[in-house]
Amino acid sequence: MSDHSAPSEHIVSGTLYWLVWAILIVATFLTAWIATIDLGPFNTVVALVIATGKASIVALIFMHVKYTHEKMTKPILIGALFWLMLLLILSLTDYSSRYAG
Amino acid sequence: MSDRAGIGETPLAVEHEDRPELRHHFADVEQQRNAASLGMWWFLGTEIMFFGGMFCAYLVYRRWYFPEFAASSRSLDLIVGTLNTAVLICSSLTVAMSIRAAQFGKRQLQVKLLLATIFFGLVFLGVKAYEWDNKYKEHHIPTFHFSARDLIHNKDNRKIFGLDKLQNDPAKLQEREAEIQRRSQIFFSLYFALTGMHAIHMVVGVGIFTVITWMAYKGRFTPEYHTPLEIAGLYWHFVDIVWIYLFPLLYLIDRRPPGP
């Protein structure tokens, strides 16, 4: 943040971008294929784990969360996800312990 | 007189005349870039809560009406949905690569990659329109001649709907069929709310990237300054992430082969 230093912006290598793209594409077809196999209650779990993995690498690499020097970016992201989990987990524990209306 | 000259020489806000892109209230380019990116991240935080409300409604109803949600989900086209997800991932790659091209000052490459992004965005929206048209033909648009008849009469669904057990009780059978009609309509209401709101974000994104592409074409972005491109990219990737969750939640609820 010094006045005189040149702006230091991280440049991600093109190879890494292509690798992330390849992982995302493979994971997309993988999740569609796994859904057709009977894993019992784990079908949903596997689908959400793959989705979260995909979302994480998009945020970390494509959105530069991993490389940012800005100190508040990660707290904002973690804060937003915390509120989201509060909404989802508390609502689901409430509604799933009641009679379906 | 000398006092006035003194004030003029040490103004409170220094215009950076050598760098027209650097606004006077920022100390340097990095501070300006961080402020812009932070603003976009705050906005994306509110967007997480905005979509979170709809995801929450979806998850509650999915738990309550699982058989109806599973059957409705199976009526969506899995292959088209998977390919459209891949299209959106390609658009995220071209956005990331265009920022990289800006970092190296490659203007032509930048413009080409941005045009590819807009192209992939429009392909996604076109495929979405095709899918919605199919929903119209299948009478799966809520309240608008909605009919779950095809779900009820599908052999694979009869067991999970518990219709076989009710074969000898016409009154209860009719009651259950009306319930399936109501509950599957809730799935499609959420389907249209979620994919529709996502599509509106895509339309806005294509609009933003049209302006960004024009700016890139005019050579407005340099290795030192390409903040508009960068924060527009953050928005685009976020919309991609929303779809990364929508795809398994809407298309893959229960794709297992029907049991014996």
Average pLDDT, chain B: 90
DSSP letter for B143, please.
T
The pLDDT of residue A1: 41
Higher pLDDT, B15 or B170: B170
- Decide: residue A43, CB within 10 A, 0-12 exposed, 13-18 middle, 19+ buried: buried
Domain layout of chain B by residue ranges:
44-251
Question: Do A21 and A38 belong to one domain?
Answer: yes
Question: Do A45 and A82 belong to one domain?
Answer: no
Rounded to a whole number of angstroms, the distance between the first and last alpha carbons of chain A is 56
Contact A100 B65 (CB under 8 A): yes
Q: Which CATH number fits domain B44-251: 1.20.120.80, 3.30.565.10, 3.20.10.10, 2.60.40.1180?
A: 1.20.120.80
Confidence of residue B1 (pLDDT cuts 50, 70, 90): very low
Question: Do A54 and A77 belong to one domain?
Answer: no
**Closest approach of chain B CAs to the CA of A90, in angstroms?**
10
Please state the φ and ψ torsions of residue B144, each to the nearest 5 degrees.
-100, 85
Chain B residues within an 8 Å CB radius of A58: 92, 237, 240-241, 244
User: pTM of the full predicted structure?
Assistant: 0.90
Question: Which member of A29, A43, A68 has the closest CB to residue B82?
Answer: A29
Distances (CA, A) of B131 to B54, B136, B161, B190, B243: 21, 9, 25, 15, 15
For the stretch A26-37, pLDDT in tens is 999 999 999 999
Question: Do A50 and A19 belong to one domain?
Answer: yes
Question: Do A39 and A85 belong to one domain?
Answer: no
**Closest approach of chain B CAs to the CA of A48, in angstroms?**
7
Question: Do A60 and A90 belong to one domain?
Answer: no
In B, residues 55-74, which contact A (CB 8 Å cutoff)?
55-56, 59-60, 63-65
Question: Do A80 and A57 belong to one domain?
Answer: no
Confidence of residue B144 (pLDDT cuts 50, 70, 90): confident
Question: Which member of A7, A37, A51 has the closest CB to residue B33?
Answer: A7
Q: B173 pLDDT exceeds 70? A: yes
Question: Do A98 and A83 belong to one domain?
Answer: yes
Question: Do A79 and A99 belong to one domain?
Answer: yes
Domains identified in chain A, total number: 2
Task: Measure the CA–CA gap between B66 and B57, rounded to whole angstroms.
Answer: 14
For the stretch A5-19, pLDDT in tens is 444 678 899 999 999
For the stretch A35-75, pLDDT in tens is 999 998 899 999 999 999 999 999 999 999 998 888 899 99
Task: Measure the CA–CA gap between B247 and B76, rounded to whole angstroms.
Answer: 11
**Residue span of the structural domain in which A17 resides:** 1-69
Question: Do A2 and A47 belong to one domain?
Answer: yes
Question: Do A56 and A84 belong to one domain?
Answer: no
- The secondary structure of B180-204, three-state, reads HHHHHHHHHHHHHHHHHHHHHHHHH
Which residues lie below 8 Å from residue A69, measured CB to CB, with a gap of 6+? A8, B30, B34
The pLDDT of residue B158: 84
The pLDDT of residue B3: 47
Question: Do A52 and A77 belong to one domain?
Answer: no
Task: Measure the CA–CA gap between B174 and B239, rounded to whole angstroms.
Answer: 42
